[in-house]
Amino acid sequence: MSETKHSLKVKISRASILRSARLFRYIQPYRLIFGLGLFALVISSISGLMLFSSLGDLIDVQTDRLNDEIGKITLFLLGILVLQGLTSFVRIYTFSYVTERSMAKLRQDVFASLLSLPMGWFSERTTGEISSRISADVASVQSTLTTYLAEFVRQVITIVGTVVILMGTSFKLALFMVATLPAMAVLAVVFGRYVRKLGKKAQDEVAESTALLEEVLSGIATVKAFTTEWWEFSKYKHKTDQVVQTGMRNAIARGTFATFIVVFIFGSIVGLVWFGGKLVATGEISTGDLFRFFMLSALMAGSAGGLAETYAQLQKSIGATEHLLDIMEAQPELDLPSAPAPKIPAPQGSFRFAHVSFEYPNRTGVQVLADLNLEILEGKTTALVGRSGAGKSTLAYLMLRFYAPQSGTIFWGNEPIESMDLRNYRSFIGYVPQEIILFSGSIAENIRYGDVRAGQEEIENAAKSANAHDFIVEFPEGYETKVGERGMRLSGGQRQRIAIARAMLANPALLILDEATSSLDNASEGLVQEALTRLMQNRTSLVIAHRLSTIKHADSIVVLEKGKIVEQGSHFELLERSGFYAHLLKKGIEEG
């Protein structure tokens, strides 16, 4: 797993229980229906106790051949069964009604929280880890509200009720049971905790293997390109082999536990039968009382045994709730709106870095930008070049406010960008990255991402400007063509042109192109470069590129090396200096 695995482990404590109780606010709107379900649960539990208790009366009246009483008790038992059936239906329906709706709202809130978190939060976690945990944790909370909470309440009522009835049935037999069974129960609980600990470890290992699987599937093209299938399989095999080893240890523990139950717990029951038989023989209790006692004892034992498992599930749910609250209570970078923000005028003036220094949060001590001063002139194109790792993309991330600098200030015009509303600020910027990510919907939906309020005519105009319209209409479904996951059904050049159309539709005041043509063939590059030139016209633009064709016409070229500006000027000015830029050209800037 990732280096943040420790953040997913939660110690169960009183504080964590109180914190987890906050999720009950999702039940609040349905409290009356939930209360009805709890009431049905109580009635169902009490009627179950009455059913087992009345069976003893039925045996006594049959022994004494009291035919009138047999009929009455039989009708009473049938009534209890009908009552139990009805209340069970009400409980299941009401709990499901409340849980399905409250968990849908929980999923929506978790997703909204994820969307509002800063890039730094995601950079410390893998996608597989996040998705695996969220799906498993929400499912754990849902099963608790649907099943385990009800089971816990039912088991407590059953245990308390049976103890009261047993003491009233035979005080001596109850004392004998108390003297033998509790010690066995304590040992069973201790043993059960060890088994649950192994079970939790197995679940964690399964989560790790699931995260690895999702990560490999999301990067399957890279795996196949580098023929590392064997390597990924060996890692997955190692993870799943760990699951097998833990599972076998769990099986040994469960087998030992089962042996313990058979030998000791049932041995105690044999002793209870022996002592109860003596009481019947001496006339201290009736045969029906003994039957009632054993039926209720079995019911109590089942509830007590299930209580440990139910408690473990509740603990697991508390841990799952903690994980979800960690996401929901993380510091967001913005609040999620219910609709797109209204268009407002973009700031005027140049974009300026003043003594900016930066290092990534998860790579402290490695300075990526060092006391950088740079001005990106309004309405002009500024190109960034430099070796890999020089800080080019980092500079773009700071402009997008994915991260904040450790020192220095970034201005747009005369206003620091951190003082601007983040949502409005980003709406002024168009971003075309090197790795184009398209969503699995239609081409039209992906272009409309630039402005979700745009109509079909605006989408087509943007596509025409991006040299994308011609290839789009060649598809049988045209603009409604599904692009597949991450746009895998389209070529690299087609994906780039859709991304450019998306940026054109946004009509940004500031355009950031991060090596937008680096992975294209010559034919595609010509069409994309033509579209980019059209997009950059009369627009403040920052271009990060390796290819000379992309940068030679820039108004200003900035050369970065180890987070510092070593040269700046036009293409021909820098060539005349025969400095770092000229050296990069000789080494092959196109290969970067």
Region label for 331, one of left (φ > 0), alpha (ψ between -120 and 50) or beta (otherwise): beta
pLDDT tens track of the chain, all 592 residues? 333 343 444 455 666 666 667 777 888 888 899 889 889 988 988 887 777 776 666 665 555 555 566 667 778 778 888 888 898 899 889 888 888 888 888 888 888 888 888 888 887 777 777 877 777 788 878 777 777 777 788 878 888 887 787 777 777 777 777 666 656 666 666 766 677 677 667 777 777 777 778 778 877 877 777 777 888 888 888 888 887 887 787 778 777 777 766 677 667 767 777 777 777 777 777 777 777 777 777 777 767 667 767 777 777 777 777 778 888 877 877 766 666 667 778 888 899 999 999 988 877 778 889 899 999 999 899 999 888 888 888 999 999 898 889 999 999 988 999 888 888 888 888 888 877 888 888 899 999 888 888 899 999 998 888 888 888 999 899 989 888 877 788 888 888 888 888 888 888 889 898 876 655 556 666 777 778 788 888 889 898 876 666 678 888 999 988 889 999 998 888 888 888 888 887 776 543 4
- Order of strands across the sheet with 564-569? 429-432, 510-514, 540-544, 381-386, 556-561, 564-569
- Whether 115 maps to a domain, the answer reads yes
Whether residues 203 and 128 share a domain: the answer is no
DSSP string, 401-440: TSS--SEEEEEETTEEGGGS-HHHHHHTEEEE-SS----S
Beta bridge mates, 482: 442
Query: With contact defined as beta carbons under 8 Å apart, do 509 and 391 qualify?
Result: no
Q: Tell me the HSE value of 309 on the side-chain side, using a 13 A CA sphere.
A: 11
In terms of domains, do 255 and 110 share one? no
Does residue 296 lie in a domain region? Answer: no
Instruction: Please check whether residues 60 and 197 belong to one and the same domain.
Output: no
Regarding whether 201 and 142 lie in a shared domain, the answer is no
- Cα–Cα distances in Å, from 249 out to 44, 203, 253? 39, 14, 6
Q: Which long-range contacts (CB under 8 A, 24 or more apart) does 456-460 make?
A: 458/505, 459/501, 459/505
Return the pLDDT at 23.
75
User: CA 504, CA 532: separation in Å to the nearest integer?
Assistant: 9
DSSP three-state, residue 126: coil
Q: Residue 5: what pLDDT?
A: 40
- Do 471 and 571 share a domain, yes or no? no
Cα gap 372→395, rounded to integer Å: 10
Instruction: Give a yes or no: residue 306 inside a domain.
Output: no
**DSSP codes of every residue in 9-71:** -----HHHHHHHGGGGGGTGGGHHHHHHHHHHHHHHHHHHHHHHHHHHHHHHHHHTT-HHHHH
DSSP 353-415: EEEEEE--GGGTT--SEEEEEEEE-TTSEEEEEESTTSSHHHHHHHHTTSS--SEEEEEETTE
Confirm whether 498 is domain-assigned.
yes
Answer yes or no: do 181 and 104 share one domain: no
Answer whether 546's CB lies under 8 Å from 560's CB.
Answer: no
In a domain, 17, yes or no: yes
Distances (CA, A) of 486 to 24, 219, 220: 37, 11, 12
Burial tier of 205 (Cβ tally within 10 Å: 0-12, 13-18, 19+): buried
Alpha-carbon distance of 189 to 304, in angstroms, equals 10
Return the pLDDT at 558.
92
Which single residue is written with the structure tokens 């039940």? 27
Show the domain range for 483.
Answer: 436-507
42 in any annotated domain: yes
Return the pLDDT at 305.
65
Among residues 507, 531, 552, which one ends one of the domains? 507
Assess if residue 344 is contained within a domain.
Answer: no
CATH classification at residue 95:
1.20.1560.10
Packing angle of the helix pair 67-116, 31-63 (nearest 10 deg): 160
In this prediction, residue 47 carries a pLDDT of 83
pLDDT for position 290: 72
Residue position matching structure tokens 């088994």:
195
> What's the CA gap between 451 and 459, in Å, rounded?
9
Residues 58, 113 share a domain: yes
> Is there a single domain that holds both residue 179 and residue 163?
no
User: How far is residue 124's CA from residue 229's CA, in Å, rounded to a whole number?
Assistant: 25
User: What pTM does this model have?
Assistant: 0.69
Q: Looking at the structure, tell me whether residues 365 and 254 fall in a common domain.
A: no
* Total domains in the fold of the chain: 4
d(CA 308, CA 315): 10
Q: Which of these three, 269, 284, 299, is where a domain ends?
A: 284
Do 104 and 84 share a structural domain?
Answer: yes
Please check whether residue 291 lies inside any domain of the structure. Answer: no
State residue 592's pLDDT score: 40
CATH of the domain at 383: 3.40.50.300
Q: Mapping DSSP to helix (H, G, I), strand (E, B) and coil, where does residue 192 land?
A: helix
- Cα gap 37→43, rounded to integer Å: 10
User: 219 and 243: one domain?
Assistant: yes
Cβ count near 376 (within 10 Å): 23
Q: Residues 371, 400: one domain?
A: yes
